[in-house]
Amino acid sequence: MNPASIHQMWDRLTGTQPDPSHWLVGATALLALAAVLSRATWRVTRNAVTIAHEGGHGLIALLTGRRLDGIRLHSDTSGLTVSRGKPHGPGMVLTAAAGYTAPPLLGLAGAALLSAGHITALLWGATALLLIMLVMIRNAYGVLTVVIACALFLAVSWLTSAQVQAAFAYLAVWFLLVGGARPVTELQRGRHRDRTGSSDADQLGRLTHTPAGLWILLFYAIALCSLVAGARWLLPR
């Protein structure tokens, strides 16, 4: 790759793109809401939330000095991230708390980028994160899921028009923002059916000697605050 091409790519990455039309922003928000509320589509689209959830566990585990052994994504849209280190302390607490907070916070970060016009940076950044995560996937379904997601982001960013890129970027961010609370609702319902105490909230309760319900409330609060703040950035003024 010659210097001119590198310079052109850098300009494209750091530059800004025109704001999409108001109808596109509204339409992608409605599509994201439908994808979250519909049981039929949620069974498929929830895989994206699982990627963000387990990626959040893995990223914070690494940032807090834990050893990340691997990540598994399953066909029932569940996942598992295995890390080694102290079984208690701030690093373990942050790692356990990162799962349910990662999707809405990633959506909020994406909304900040889009509000500043950095559509290309969002698409390429998401592709880079997926490629990094791919290295840590330890099962075939997980590899397939992440490869498909990565290929989709890459194809949209390189092969489609600016309008399609904007629509895809806004749809992805809206989906993370709108869909941030539904997994928490599923967690709350699942705890009533499964008394094994293996959920993230139960684990956090044991680590911090606090009620697990308090952590569920925190997850809800982060999802709601992210949605409100993200919507203020995304919706036309």
pLDDT in tens, 132-190: 999 999 999 999 999 999 999 999 999 999 999 999 999 999 999 999 999 999 999 88
With a cut of 90, say whether residue 103 has pLDDT above it: yes
Burial tier of 233 (Cβ tally within 10 Å: 0-12, 13-18, 19+):
middle
Which residue range(s) make up the domain with 195?
42-234
Looking at residues 17-43, what average pLDDT do you find?
A: 94
With a cut of 80, say whether residue 195 has pLDDT above it: no
Residue 138 lies in a domain: yes
- The pLDDT assigned to 17 comes to 82
CB 147 within 8 Å of CB 155? no
Looking at residues 101-119, what average pLDDT do you find?
A: 96
78-116 as b/e, with b when 16 or more CB fall inside 10 Å?
ebebebeeeeeeebbbbbbbbbbbbbbbbbbbbbbbbee
Residue 155 lies in a domain: yes
The pLDDT-based confidence of 191 (bands split at 50, 70, 90) is confident
Percent residues over pLDDT 90 in the chain: 84
Residue 129 lies in a domain: yes
Q: Look up the pTM and report it.
A: 0.93
With a cut of 90, say whether residue 10 has pLDDT above it: no
Residue 10 lies in a domain: no
The pLDDT-based confidence of 77 (bands split at 50, 70, 90) is very high
The pLDDT-based confidence of 16 (bands split at 50, 70, 90) is confident
Residue 70 lies in a domain: yes
More confident residue, 16 or 237: 16
Count of structural domains, the chain: 1
Residue 69 lies in a domain: yes
With a cut of 80, say whether residue 234 has pLDDT above it: yes
Residue 220 lies in a domain: yes
Residue 24 lies in a domain: no
